[in-house]
Structure 1
């Protein structure tokens, strides 16, 4: 009986270790995706991408809030019910 508990404990330890390794691998892969260098406008200003439901003006509201006012739209796309707005804040 003690032997089976030890074997079960070893199995659980291995499963936990494998799960931890999988989580760390996935986290590293996602971090690599999100660490892409920022895009810049032709005049050198950094750009930001926001997404909102298609048909709403929430993207513009987010851009205005982040810029503290005026911004320039670099690109807008709509697909699958989502609107994406790439913008650059104007200088103050």
Structure 2
């Protein structure tokens, strides 16, 4: 079941979206923008090297210093490391 409003954060978009589990059982978020990825990253309790890199890449993409593709890849890696990535 999709988290309501998860797709509402537009802005710098990436494709394909990254699906991650949420803290609510049976719910997931479909992340397709740098802004939503940043918001979700900040809600995680896991603060690993991959998490920090994802936060940095999302910030850089928001400021035009990195691409949306770089931010997506870093977010996806952090989600996988944290056990949050949903495989299709």
Q: TM-score range by the shorter chain?
A: under 0.3
| Relative contact order higher in (CA < 8 Å, ≥ 6 apart) | 2
The TM-score, its normalising length taken from structure 1, stands at 0.22
With the length of structure 2 as denominator, give the TM-score of the two structures: 0.23
Bigger Rg, which one? 1
